[in-house]
Amino acid sequence: MRYETVIGLEVHLQLDTQTKAFCGCANRFGSSPNSQTCPVCLGFPGSLPVLNEKAFLHAIKVALALGCKIQDLIKFDRKNYYYPDLPKNYQISQYDMPLSYDGRIDIKVDGKDKLIRIKRVHMEEDAGKLVHPEGASHSLVDYNRAGTPLLEIVTEPDLSSPEEAYEYLTKLKSILGYLKVSDCDMEKGSLRCDANISIRPAGEKTLGTKVEVKNMNSFKNVRQALEHEEKRQAEAVEDKVKIVQETRLWDPDRGVTVSMRSKEEAQDYRYFPEPDLVPFVVDKRVIEDIRSALPELPEARRARFMDEFALPEYDASVLTADIDTAEYFEESARVSGKAKIVANWIMGDMAAMSNARNIGIRELGLSAGSLASIIKMIDSGAISGKIAKEVLNDAIETKKDPEEIVRLKGLTQISDGGQIETAVAAVLAKNEKSVKDYKDGKKNALTFLVGQVMKETKGKANPALVNEILKKKLGE
């Protein structure tokens, strides 16, 4: 039988604020355990939460960027459950009245556009972290993370494949990056994703039994886990095994999902309105101010890049996926005036280098001016495209000015016919067989000979000139 897959995603996003959601402690990653805490985020008796306005405004910003409606009355609720990393044994969250709802993200999979509805975006606080010292019979708790402002972004079950889930996450991360509200680093846990997935016979209207999948710490993990789960569920149905509503953990090493708890063991969170925080109405003007101050988002920027820089859609999409790349491109394109060439460099060599180093394009440390000067040197014929790659690499490694690198290393392209003729003569003398091959009609011998001349000139010879002179000499 053919099945169709139904997926909904829940993303937890740590907001990048100076202080925590409900107290004045620094919201900082990587400090020594329990150093970023106070009676409030430790849930000490008598302490009370006070909402961090900045975190709330960030939340509104995200909600508006995702096209959500904002709730008229903002209210918080308590989600009650016991766990040692949760200092009060309840989490301040939002239940029946999330601060925003009914948003959307548009994705493109296999060339087709698809709308993914955002069901809700709500605010809550993060928990601490358990630490399990190796070999010890006890566990320790680090509350530094407790009280960090979180957004939960929940989709409707609109995703129909693991690939769509991947694309959705990529797009979401791209938008969040533009908003500069979070570093969206899954490895650090500042962005986390849980998935609900079910299958049903193709064409069937009612939903199948859903399974929640957790513990996926990269977008690739999400895709793999969902691919596995999709297959597992289909096989179960084929084998007439009933799919149970449960939570399963992704085991990245084995590439499988493992049952964690069934619905019967599911918690009753006993939500009720948080009495320590007074419900409040957000001034419509505040919302409109945030809306009008929203930055240009990836899609708008892509359209503008196509229009303003005459870029192909593919290039514009790649360059706008990440805010840093988009800004770097735009700056470099303006400085050099050669948008398409800048795009090629960024998408080619520079992307390769930043990927290899696992850093962002800005962190390569090549200024827009430096990139422009490399492009200018190629354009004027001062260096060859091949040498340019070497200069780019050097400039990134040594942080030196590209023109200075060319000067110091003597990389200026040889466009002097006399010098090239000398090199050609030397090469022809050493490669009689290739000369003969060429004359016998094996035209690819020319490519070899060009290569030899380039080698003789340490890559500095103007390739066009080398070609021309070689052909002339071989024709004699």
Partner 1 sequence: MDNLYSQTARALKEAMANDGLDPRKILDQLFNRIAAVDSRIKAFVLVNKNAAQVKTGGALSGIPVVVKDNICVKGEDTTCASKILKGFKPPNDATVVRKLKEAGAVLMGKANMDEFAFGSSCETSCYGPTHNPWDLERIPGGSSGGSAAAVAGDEAIMALGSDTGGSIRQPASLCGVVGLKPTYGRVSRYGLIAFASSLDQIGPITKDVTDSAILLGAIAGHDEMDSTSVDIPVPDYTKALVNDVKGLRIGVPKEYFIKGIDRDVQESVKRAIEIYKDLGAVVVDISLPHTEYAVSAYYIIGPAEASSNLARFDGVQYGLRAEDAKDLIDMYIKTRSKGFGNEAKRRILLGTYCLSSGYYDAYYLKAQKVRTRIKEDFEKAFKACDCIATPTTPTPAFKIGEKANDPLSMYLSDIFTIPANLAGLPGISIPCGFSSGNLPIGLQIIAKPFAEETIFRAAYTFEQNTDFHKKRPAL
Binding site for partner 1 (CB under 8 A): 39, 42-51, 78, 80, 82, 84, 87-90, 141, 268, 270-272, 275-278
Is residue 126 within 8 Å of 115, Cβ to Cβ?
no
- The smaller minimum CB distance to partner 1, of residues 147 and 177, is found at 147
Q: How are strands ordered across the β-sheet holding 69-70?
A: 69-70, 100-109, 112-125, 149-155, 3-14, 191-201, 211-216, 246-251, 256-262
Joined tokens for residue 244: 């149970």
Minimum Å distance from CB 50 to partner 1? Answer: 5
Shortest Å, Cβ 130 to partner 1: 10
The 3-state secondary structure of 168-211 reads: HHHHHHHHHHHHCCCCCCCCCCCEEEEEEEEEEECCCCCCCCCE
- Quote the CA–CA distance of 404 and 194 in Å, as a whole number: 51
Nearer to partner 1, 78 or 223 (CB): 78
Alpha carbon distance 463, 453 (integer Å): 9
Instruction: Note the Cα 164 to chain centre separation in Å.
Output: 15
Q: How far is the CB of 79 from partner 1 (least distance, A)?
A: 10
Least distance between partner 1 and beta carbon 26 (Å): 18
CB closer to partner 1 out of 29 and 269: 269
Closer by beta carbon to partner 1, 85 or else 308: 85
Quickly tell me which residue has 């846990």 as its tokens: 189
Q: Which is nearer to partner 1, 143 or 438 (CB)?
A: 143
Under 8 Å CB-to-CB from 327, ≥6 apart: which residues? Answer: none
Nearer to partner 1, 78 or 122 (CB): 78
Which of 42/353 has CB closer to partner 1? 42
276 or 397: whose CB is closer to partner 1?
A: 276
Backbone φ and ψ of 3, nearest 5°:
-120, 155
C-beta of 43 vs 402, nearer to partner 1: 43
Smallest distance, partner 1 to C-beta of residue 260, A: 16
CB of 210 to partner 1, least distance (A): 18
In whole angstroms, the minimum distance from the beta carbon of 47 to partner 1 comes to 7
For the bound state, the minimum distance from the C-beta of residue 141 to partner 1, rounded and expressed in Å, comes to: 7
Sign for the CA dihedral angle at 364, 182, 252, 7 comes to negative
Shorter beta-carbon distance to partner 1: residue 18 or 355: 18
Q: What's the min distance (Å) between Cβ of 34 and partner 1? A: 10
Rounded to an integer, what is the distance from CA 123 to the centroid of its chain? 22
Q: How far is the CB of 27 from partner 1 (least distance, A)?
A: 19
